[in-house]
């Protein structure tokens, strides 16, 4: 897309990684607080063990966790490695997305969608239901940025495709909600991620969609095999009943995990 690719990327990729690390830090807050109905802005981050509010230098993404050797400065209780891992992976995904989309404005839109997808995925992986608001906010913000950014550069196929993709996803999601409002089937958990997926896939070219779809099918199959084997069921041709146990949240949300894998991989093919 961009003719001045190298100089622009030399600025935008490091910037995207830094923003990604900060967004990852925010995602940790969202994932912990939103399912509990708590505010994401107040109070500031605190240690869940000793309740002490964290100083700014204890809150630097990844660096603080490494410097404090994964323990709280005051109570010395271990801090989960999940926090720096989420921050790091968000930084990497933002960097890759920016690289894949040549550091354009559209890249910022796809970074937003990726952050939303990660939030939904992490909440569902934690065994809780992600509120529709998380996916809806990410989709609206991501869609606006993608459409404005693509329109700015006269990439009307990306702008139009994102709008059509989102509209189709909203339709599918509405039908799913009408037919199964409570969504008892654990395989359907995280289906609000469909909204993000629709916007995302709509803007991609056919080759990227084909790559994403292939990876999605493979990831979905692997997740189902994993779910069956974890549930002690044979993985033969007879479909085993979907495990509905809360203690296996990771494997009961193959929809989200499959979408996340498909999207992460399609990033590089994008643009």
> What residue ranges bind Zn ion (CB under 5 A)?
47, 49-50, 72, 74-75
The pair phi, psi for residue 201, each rounded to 5°, is -65, -30
Query: Least CB distance from residue 23 to Zn ion, whole Å?
Result: 24
Smallest separation, CB 265 to Zn ion (Å): 38
Dihedral in degrees, nearest 10, Cα atoms 149, 152, 155, 158: 30
| Shortest CB 131 distance to Zn ion, Å | 28
Element (H, E) at 71: none
Of the two residues 73 and 129, which places its CB atom closer to Zn ion in the complex?
73
Q: Between 50 and 66, name the residue whose CB sits nearer to Zn ion.
A: 50
Cα–Cα distance, 24 to 62 (Å, whole number): 10
| Distance of closest approach, residue 68 Cβ to Zn ion, in angstroms | 10
Closest approach, Cβ 260 to Zn ion, in A, equals 31
User: C-beta of 88: minimal distance to Zn ion in Å?
Assistant: 22
**Alpha-carbon distance 3 to 11, whole Å?**
15
**Entry field: residues in the chain:** 271
Which CB, 49 or 174, lies closer to Zn ion? 49
Whose CA is closest to 127, among 243, 24, 240? 243
Residue 184 burial by Cβ neighbours in a 10 Å radius (0-12, 13-18, 19+):
exposed
User: Which is closer to Zn ion, CB of 47 or CB of 183?
Assistant: 47
Closer residue to Zn ion in complex, CB, 74/80: 74
Q: Considering the complex, what minimum distance in angstroms separates the CB of residue 109 from Zn ion?
A: 38
Angle among Cα 23, 28, 30 to the nearest 5 degrees reads 90
Question: What token pair was written down for 138?
Answer: 């990410």
Residue 46 or 221: the one with the smaller Cβ distance to Zn ion is 46
CB atoms within 10 A of CB 136: 16
Closer to Zn ion by Cβ: residue 33 or 52: 52
**Region of residue 267 (phi > 0: left; psi between -120 and 50: alpha; otherwise: beta):** alpha
């Amino acid at each position: 897309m961009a003719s001045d690719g190298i100089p622009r990327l030399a600025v935008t990729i490091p910037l995207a990684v830094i923003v990604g690390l900060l967004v990852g830090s925010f995602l940790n807050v969202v994932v912990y607080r939103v399912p509990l109905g708590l505010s994401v802005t107040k109070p500031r981050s605190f240690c869940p063990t000793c309740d002490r509010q964290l100083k700014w230098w204890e809150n630097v993404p990844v660096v603080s966790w490494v410097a404090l050797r994964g323990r709280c400065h005051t109570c010395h209780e271990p801090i989960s490695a999940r926090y720096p891992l989420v921050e790091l992976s968000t930084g990497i995904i933002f960097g890759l997305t920016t690289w894949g989309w040549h550091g354009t404005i559209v890249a910022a839109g796809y970074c937003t969608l990726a952050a939303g997808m990660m939030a939904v995925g992490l909440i569902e992986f934690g065994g809780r239901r992600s509120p529709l608001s998380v996916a809806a906010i990410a989709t609206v913000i991501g869609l606006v940025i993608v459409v404005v950014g693509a329109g700015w550069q006269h990439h009307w196929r990306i702008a139009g495709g994102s709008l059509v993709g989102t509209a189709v996803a909203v339709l599918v999601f509405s039908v799913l909600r009408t037919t199964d409002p409570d969504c008892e089937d654990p395989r359907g958990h995280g289906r609000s991620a469909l909204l993000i997926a629709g916007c995302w896939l709509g803007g991609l070219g056919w080759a990227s969609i084909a790559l994403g779809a292939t990876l999605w099918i493979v990831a979905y199959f692997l997740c189902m095999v994993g779910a069956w084997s974890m549930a002690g069921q044979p993985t033969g041709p007879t479909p085993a009943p979907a495990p509905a146990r809360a203690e296996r949240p990771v494997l009961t949300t193959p929809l989200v995990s499959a979408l996340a894998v498909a999207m992460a991989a399609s990033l590089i093919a994008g643009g």
